[in-house]
Amino acid sequence: MNKLFSIAASKSIECFRKNELSMRSGKTKRKTAETEISVFLKLDGTGKYKINTGVGFFDHMLEQLARHSLIDLEIEANGDTHIDDHHTVEDTGIAFGQALAQAIGDKVGINRYGWCLLPMDDTLIRSALDLSSRPFLYFDVDMPTEKIGTFDTGLVREFFQAVSTHGGITLHIEGLHGYNSHHIAEATFKSFAKSLRVAIDKDPRNLKSVPTTKGKL
């Protein structure tokens, strides 16, 4: 009888943990005079994505973010791209950061820190982040060209500034070398994605506490 109870309790705990993981999702909508953005994400996904921002190269970068972080990601954005892409990219970063913070929640059990040194052909990008609730961005990534097709390369930094600020992330990204702007931008998104995956994963040895001596992040 005790053995049966123990098995049932074990299965119940396992089921609870699976349900807890499945609940790690975030959803946000943002509407201004310039853009209308909706974001839905699941932290414990498989990297599925459905993305439409109206900015082709940016869509490609967000797909890389989803695929390499294994976060399921849906983004729909309508912005004043007849002016330029700035508002759409920045506001998508804001909405993504807010949805991410919502999904992470109280940070109980997570690793908190993540880092990645990512190569892509000529390019090497180093990123490190802390889900600290203290927004800070250090971004030292040089792009050899001002445009990738019609996409303004300066918007890569604007996106990560918005994500850092609204996701409560201390984020450092450095371009160690590279001469192809497309490779540099893509490796930057991939490196961030890999770092984020490490940080949001849960440590089975520490599932009941927040990774800080302060008691709260």
- What confidence tens digit (pLDDT) does each residue in 97-111 have? 999 999 999 999 999
CB neighbours of residue 50 within 10 Å: 12
The pTM is what? 0.89
Domain presence at residue 132: yes
Instruction: Give the span between the Cα atoms of 78 and 165, in whole angstroms.
Output: 22
Residue 14 has pLDDT above 80, yes or no: no
76 pairs with which residues across the strands?
38, 52
The range of the structural domain enclosing residue 70 comes to 25-200
Domain presence at residue 194: yes
Residue 12 has pLDDT above 70, yes or no: no
Instruction: Give the span between the Cα atoms of 94 and 83, in whole angstroms.
Output: 19
Residue 80 has pLDDT above 60, yes or no: yes
How much is the pLDDT for 212?
87
- What confidence tens digit (pLDDT) does each residue in 22-62 have? 589 999 999 999 999 999 999 999 999 999 999 999 999 99
Domain presence at residue 78: yes
Q: Where are the beta strands (DSSP E) in the chain?
A: 25-31, 35-42, 49-52, 72-79, 113-120, 123-130, 136-140, 147-148, 151-152, 170-177
How much is the pLDDT for 216?
82
Domain presence at residue 11: no
How many domains, the chain? 1
Domain presence at residue 15: no
Instruction: Give the span between the Cα atoms of 57 and 98, in whole angstroms.
Output: 22
* CA angle (198, 202, 204) in 5-degree steps: 130
Domain presence at residue 20: no
Instruction: Give the span between the Cα atoms of 131 and 114, in whole angstroms.
Output: 9
Residue 75 has pLDDT above 50, yes or no: yes
Question: What tokens were used for 162?
Answer: 């918005």
**DSSP H/E element including 138:** strand 136-140
The one-letter amino acid at 147: K
Domain presence at residue 13: no
Domain presence at residue 205: no
- What confidence tens digit (pLDDT) does each residue in 149-195 have? 999 999 999 999 999 999 999 999 999 999 999 999 999 999 999 99
How much is the pLDDT for 11?
54
Among residues 202, 167, 188, the alpha carbon closest in space to that of 65 is found at 188
Residue 1 has pLDDT above 80, yes or no: no
CATH of the domain at 76: 3.30.230.40
How much is the pLDDT for 6?
45
- What confidence tens digit (pLDDT) does each residue in 113-139 have? 999 999 999 999 999 999 999 999 999
